Structure 1
Amino acid sequence: MSTFLQKSPIFGPVLSRRFGVSLGVNLMPASGKICTFDCLYCEDGLNAERRTRDTYVTMDVLAPALERALSGIAERKEALDEVCLAGNGEPTASPIFPQAVDLCRTLIDRYVPSAKLAVLSNGTMASRPEVHDALMRVDRNVLKLDTVDPDYIALLDRPQVPYDVHKQVEAFASFGGHVIIQTIFVRGSYQGASLDNTDEAHVSAWLDAVEKIAPEAVTVYTIARDTPVSGIEKAPREVLDAIANRVRALGIPCSASY
């Protein structure tokens, strides 16, 4: 099915379902993906289909491009809700990620001080001290937790690095609440295996993990664009709403995107 790559090092602004008008910062090359997950639902395509010999963006490339984008937005007096480190893969895996966070903060303060700084991450690098410290310096530290079932993670998210979901939960809890948990809920099947993580067994175990992490907020969503493999189905609106209500019953704000 149709997928796409983002421009690099800057893309957008785009209208995000969850975070408003967002300017993307892509630390990966425009020619392919560099990711520690290989999710079946990734809008950028599967890793094998998006291989690249190009390397991560450097600070010499990022700094002038981001300043041009933000100064232009300021000059034109355009609305901007956030600057978001995301793009064609896992932003925290970039060797310049901490420096990129600081650059974004400096330029946001200079040109668009009302905008927030966000990171969309799968969380695989969250326990690294330099990454953890950098994530503490952003406004919206959005980390992925699609389930706590290792078999389901291997099926849907397909980690490309060693991944222990229970250690991930501990790492997310170590942010002391400065984290937004992002979870995709889907149905369907892949190669004969169920992709449904909306059943009670998955949801109740996930809720236990969310309660342990004690995030500032949770966002639940489902697929909205084409996926690189067939068989993945949207979770129904009423199912997402019911899950969101169970999160709110824990005293944690939760948004649902369809």
Structure 2
Amino acid sequence: MSTVIYPSPIFGPVHSRRLGVSLGINLLPADGKCCTFDCIYCECGYNKDRRPRLKLPTREEVRRALEQRLMDMRANGPAPDVLTFAGNGEPTLHPHFKEIIEDTIALRDRYFPDAKISVLSNSTQIHRPEVFEALSRVDNNILKLDTVDEAYIGKVDRPTGPYDVSRIIQGMKAFRGNLIIQTMFLKGKTDEGEDVDNTSDAFVLPWLEAVKEIAPRQVMIYTIDRETPDSFLQKATHEELDRIVSLLEQAGIRASASY
């Protein structure tokens, strides 16, 4: 099993399938993974195999490293399309997430005012007022909702604590459209031989009803692109993803697919 562990606190820029030239901001330790999910498709591997020993970067370490990288990019290029909070797990777990977002907005405005700020989150912390407030301020508040089937969530996303999908949906609705839903579609089996295909109507149609209820400004659907911890997962096909995009567009929801 090959995994990707990102440097901290800044990595890239990388070319994102969904976001363009993306400068990564990793608020988790540089030597392991911290996440409230333990997804069988996570490019960072399983939580148990990548437990970090280093501490979280401090707010000041993040601010200083980000400013240095932005100064270098302004002098030497390339200009970033987006500053993306991602990396080795769930970024909103950082105890100073709200303050780091404030710092990032100020630095973006100073060095690359046309760049967007994106946060890739699994949605598990949006009930916390300080996280909700911070996510409300970024340009692209990208929140995960792979399905509304809790058995599937337990099998594929594997939350590390209590998880109530209805509560997640209500939390998403509270953003009043100021969010982008991100959903992974995949096929194949777990290493234990359980089917994980969520491209059929049995999964897509209830998910679509929840998306319509949430009313996001956009939906990004995607499939696996790198080696995964579970060995027998498969990509969803172009045709399957295009069908789901078409269903979203028929419902009046802007949608895109990354293959």
Give the TM interval when normalised to the shorter protein: over 0.9
Note the C-alpha offset of 1:192.
Answer: 2.2
CA distance in 2, matches of 1:77, 1:18: 20
Alpha-carbon distance between aligned partners in 2 of 1:113 and 1:74, rounded to the nearest angstrom:
11
Runs of 4+ in 1 over 3 A off after TM superposition: none
Amino acid in the other structure paired with 2:201: E
Q: 1:196 aligns to what?
A: 197
Distance 1:248 1:161 in 2: 34
Query: Does residue 1:63 correspond to 2:70, yes or no?
Result: no
Q: Aligned partners of 2:117, 2:250: CA distance in 1, in Å?
A: 28
Q: Give the aligned partner of residue 126 of structure 1.
A: 126
Aligned to 2:73: 73
Q: What secondary structure is seen at the aligned counterpart in 2 of 1:102?
A: helix
In the alignment, which residue of structure 1 is the partner of 2:224?
A: 223
Count of aligned residue pairs for this structure pair: 258
SS across alignment from 1:13: strand
- SS at 1:73 equivalent: helix
> Whole-Å Cα distance in 1 between the matches of residues 235 and 78 of structure 2?
33
TM-score by length of 2: 0.98
Alignment of 1:25 onto 2:17 = no
Q: Find the counterpart in structure 1 of residue 147 from structure 2.
A: 147
Cα separation, 2, equivalents of 1:217 and 1:183: 11
Q: Counterpart of 1:11 in 2: which secondary structure?
A: strand
Looking at structure 2, the residues matched to 117 and 52 of structure 1 have their Cα atoms a distance apart, in angstroms, of 26
2:209 aligned partner:
208
Please tell me whether residue 112 in structure 1 is matched to residue 112 in structure 2. Answer: yes
Q: 2: CA distance between counterparts of 1:52 and 1:2?
A: 17
Deviations 1:22-45 (A, max 9, x none): 000000011000100000000011
Q: CA RMSD in A?
A: 0.8
Please give the secondary structure, in 1, of the residue aligned with 2:23.
strand
- Contact kept in structure 1, 2:79 and 2:112, CA below 8 Å: no
Structure 1 segment 11-50 matched on structure 2, within 5 A: 11-50=11-50
Post-superposition Cα deviations, 1:34-64, rounded to whole Å, max 9, x if no partner, equal 1000000000111011011222210121111
Structure 1 partner of 2:161: 161
- Unaligned ranges ≥5, structure 2: none
Note if 1:183 corresponds to 2:197: no
SS of corresponding position for 2:244: helix
Q: Distance in 2 between matches of 1:77 and 1:57?
A: 25
Measured in 2, the distance between the counterparts of 1:30 and 1:102 equals: 22
Q: Aligned-pair distance for 1:78?
A: 2.1
Taking the aligned partners of 1:140 and 1:161, their CA distance within structure 2 comes to: 26
C-alpha distance in structure 2 between counterparts of 1:253 and 1:71, whole Å: 35
**Aligned partner of 1:204: which letter?**
L
**Hey, what does 2:138 align to over in structure 1?**
138
Return the letter of the residue paired with 2:137. Answer: R
- Measured after TM superposition, the shift of residue 226 of structure 1 is 0.4
Secondary structure, in 3 states, of the residue corresponding to 2:246?
helix
Bigger Cα displacement from structure 2, 69-78 vs 223-232: 69-78
Letter in 2 for 1:33: K
Q: Do the aligned partners of 2:219 and 2:256 also contact (CA within 8 Å) in 1?
A: yes
Offset of residue 75 of structure 1 = 1.5
2:222·2:258 contact (CA, 8 Å) conserved in 1?
yes
Q: Percent identity between the aligned chains? A: 51
**TM-score, length of structure 1 as denominator length:** 0.99
Structure 1 residue 229: Cα displacement: 1.4
- Give the C-alpha shift of residue 77 in structure 1: 4.1
Corresponding residue of 2:83:
83
Structure 1 stretches lacking a partner, 5+ long? none
